[in-house]
Amino acid sequence: MNQTLAKSPLEKAAVYWELMRPSTTCLFFLGILLGAVVVVDWQAALSVKGLLAALSGTLVGSASNVINDVFDMDIDRINKPQRPLVSGRMNISEAKSLWIALNITGVALGFFVSLPNGIIASVSVVILYLYSSQFKRQLFIGNLVVAMVVSTGLAYGAVAVGTLGDVWFPIALAFLLNVGREIVKDLEDTEGDRAGGADTIPVRYGNTAALVLMTIVFTTLIAISFVPYLTGVYGRWYLFLMTPTTDAIILFTIIRAWQLQTKENFYRLAVLLKVAMLTGIISIALGKLQ
């Protein structure tokens, strides 16, 4: 059902914020800071360069959420009719203007932080646009692309404060977690994806194939999550927090996804996996500090 176009500055700001997806935006910001923490420390992460890098990457990531809604309008009319564009609270022209403004600001801040950050931000803009316009509807490619770009946020924060250092393991964890979550989101969006012509694993091969792949990805993630503690990279607080939070959530997701294969359940699990991302960030940060 169409709603009234937002007119007042406050209404527009609220709709813009919703379009940028605030929960994802906060995870972008924290993930980039974590990259700086892992290779140096919290002091470096909270330096001017660290904070500007986090803001830069967050703006580019938020822009990708905006353009994604532009290209997904036909699918969102079925899957997410409450979203700002398909509900009529924002028009396409406004969304595109917001996308441009966020990207320009994000890339400019990236170059201000460092040349490598500026280049990474610029390349990310192109890749994320291609993801929304093309890759997302191609079998599994979209899942891999979005997981790669999101996990690269850790490297973005690391580069801002000097070096990639020990950031590769958190990148691997973030990549696997995002791949698995993207599969869960595909399971949630099967009806709209099929109607919109998106070639996802559930659409082509069915829920069982998607669930098997999700289980493999998440089981691998749980198994390797113990490696940093066993090798002495992170201290005991990493293990004490990672196991009962992130790993437990992932295990619950595997079990519950098989038990209840409904759109509503897959939506709840996708949201819960965002919590797993947050607890993973906290676990790694505290494990590094220890």
Q: Calculate mean pLDDT across residues 198-209.
A: 93
Report the pLDDT value the prediction gives residue 2, as an integer from 0 to 100.
62
* Least confident piece of the model among 112-116, 240-244, 284-288: 284-288
pLDDT at 283 (0 to 100)? 92
Please give the Cα distance from 60 to 48 (Å, whole number): 18
How high does pLDDT run on average in the chain?
A: 91
Helix 115-133 to helix 92-113 angle (10° resolution) is 150
Alpha helices in 21-91 (DSSP H): 22-39, 42-45, 48-71, 73-79
pLDDT of residue 7: 72
Q: What is the per-residue pLDDT across 94-123, written as a single tens digit (0 to 9) for each?
A: 999 999 999 999 999 999 999 999 999 999
The reported pLDDT for the residue numbered 1 is 52
Other beta carbons within 10 Å of 173:
24
Tens of pLDDT, residues 156-180: 999 998 877 778 889 999 999 999 9
- Domains of the chain by start residue, with CATH: 7-164 (1.10.357.140), 166-290 (1.20.120.1780)
- In three state form, how does the secondary structure of 163-229 look? CCCCCHHHHHHHHHHHHHHHHHHHHHCHHHHHHHCCCCHHHHHCHHHHHHHHHHHHHHHHHHCCHHH
